[in-house]
Every structure is written in structure tokens, then in C-alpha cells.
């Protein structure tokens, strides 16, 4: 994560030019937004368009957001300057890979000094960042470096967040654990390298034991 951001009363939302084409902007929770744009629009305008759809009220921490270009096949990534126009983006990056191979990802690039203030003043941005960290943890190489005990602790905390009213002994019941595995999926809570490296029976027992403590 680069830099820091400060609260702002709200960034002006630039109007898009008459529609020329559409752009799929990927969000950390696995969904995406489709934005109609003209080539003269800049990245800041696209960010403003997408963040305005996250909730009706303006984002107080609008300056924290950035747009990242990600080529999933190679892992190549580039942060896009907010003053860059889509025409400039196309001119530069279509020479490297076809546009449909690039993912435009809206992400939190800059963090405020105080995450508690972020939570208190702009919960939409806070939970956007939460989804981003969670997704990075489950999907990227960081998951391969974490030990099983820590992964189980984080798994149980996220299960508690996902099922807020679940009793602490709920996972002792075999049917509840099977529902969690088959209907929800442990991949939502445990990094794939940990899932692949652990014996299923031992992992289940560890989750059952740890869940009683959270």
C-alpha cells in the first residue's frame, strides 16, 4: 500500500462524455461495474463514477481510491495516474496486451493515518478496504506464506463475521461443518495453499477447536 490519504469534503464528479464504449471495473468483492465512457474521460472521472455507485452519500475518503491495471495471465500490474485519459491508457497499454486481457481494478491505494476514523466517518470505504485485504489474503502469494495456526485463527474470525449469530459450539455439529464446507466453501475463509497443504480431517478439528475461542 502506497502513501497516505486525508479526508476530503468530496471530489467533484466529472460527467462522462457521450458514450463511446464501455469499461468493466472490477471490485475487491468479486463484482464489477460497467462504465460508459468517451476517450477524453480521465481515470479520476471513472473512479468518481464507480465510487458514486457504492452508496448514495459522497465518499469522504475519495482520495484513497486508485485504479490499477492488472494483466491476470502474466501478473503484470500498473497503477494509473488519475489525470491520464482513457485515450492515453489505450494508446499505451494496447501495445502490450489486447485491452480485453487487462483488468481495470478499483482499489484502495492510499491509507488514512487512522483506520478507526475511516470506519467512523466512511464505512463504505472501510468495508471496501476490508474486502480488498481479505481477497488479497485468500487469493495471492501471501496465503502461501502463512502458517496453518494463523490461518485457522483468521478463518474462525471471518466465519464469526460471516455468521454473526452462530453459537461458539455450532461447528461441533457435523451437519453445520458440512454446510460450511459444501454450501459456503472453506475457500472463502482459508487461503488455497493452506487448504491444499493440510489434511482435511486435521483442518476441520483445528477449526472446530479454534471457533470455540472466538
pLDDT in tens, 35-61: 999 878 999 999 999 999 999 888 999
pLDDT(14) > 50? no
What does R_g of the chain's alpha carbons equal in angstroms? 20
pLDDT, greater one: 142 or 96: 96
pLDDT(144) > 90? no
Q: Which residues contact 40 (CB under 8 A, 6 or more apart)?
A: 17, 85, 86, 87
Nearest CA to 11 out of 42, 43, 54, 45 is that of: 45
Same CATH fold assignment for domains 21-135 and 146-211:
no
Q: What pLDDT, on a 0 to 100 scale, did the predictor assign at position 19?
A: 47
Residue 177 class from Cβ within 10 Å (0-12 exposed, 13-18 middle, 19+ buried)? Answer: middle
Domain map (residue ranges) of the chain: 21-135, 146-211
pTM of the model: 0.82
CATH of region 146-211: 1.20.80.10
Cα angle at 107 between 31 and 59, to 5 degrees? 95
Residue 107 sits at φ, ψ, to 5 deg, of: -140, 160
Alpha helix positions (H), 31-164: 43-51, 86-93, 115-121, 123-139, 148-162
Helix (H, G, I), strand (E, B) or coil at 167: coil
User: What band does 74 get if pLDDT is binned at 50, 70 and 90?
Assistant: very high
CATH of region 21-135: 3.10.20.90
Above pLDDT 90, what percent of the chain?
66
Amino acid at each position: 500500500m502506497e502513501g497516505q490519504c486525508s479526508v476530503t469534503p468530496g471530489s467533484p464528479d466529472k460527467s462522462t462524455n457521450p458514450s463511446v464504449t464501455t469499461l468493466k471495473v472490477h471490485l475487491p468483492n468479486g463484482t464489477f461495474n460497467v462504465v460508459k465512457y468517451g476517450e477524453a474521460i480521465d481515470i479520476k472521472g471513472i473512479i468518481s463514477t464507480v465510487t458514486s455507485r457504492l452508496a448514495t452519500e459522497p465518499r469522504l475518503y475519495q482520495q484513497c481510491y486508485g485504479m490499477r491495471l492488472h494483466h491476470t495471465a502474466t501478473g503484470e500490474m500498473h497503477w494509473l495516474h488519475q489525470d491520464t485519459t482513457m485515450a492515453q491508457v489505450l494508446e499505451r497499454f494496447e501495445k502490450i496486451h489486447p485491452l480485453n486481457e487487462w483488468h481495470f481494478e478499483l482499489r484502495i491505494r492510499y491509507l488514512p493515518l487512522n483506520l478507526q476514523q475511516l470506519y467512523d466517518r466512511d464505512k463504505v470505504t472501510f468495508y471496501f478496504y476490508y474486502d480488498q485485504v481479505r481477497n488479497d489474503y485468500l487469493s495471492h502469494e501471501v496465503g502461501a506464506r502463512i502458517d496453518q495456526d494463523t490461518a485457522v485463527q483468521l478463518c474462525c474470525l471471518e466465519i464469526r463475521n460471516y455468521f454473526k449469530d452462530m453459537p461458539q459450539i455450532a461447528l461441533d455439529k457435523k451437519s453445520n461443518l458440512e454446510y460450511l464446507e459444501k454450501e459456503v466453501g472453506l475457500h472463502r475463509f482459508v487461503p488455497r495453499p493452506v487448504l491444499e497443504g493440510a489434511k482435511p480431517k486435521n483442518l476441520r478439528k483445528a477449526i472446530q477447536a479454534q471457533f470455540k475461542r472466538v
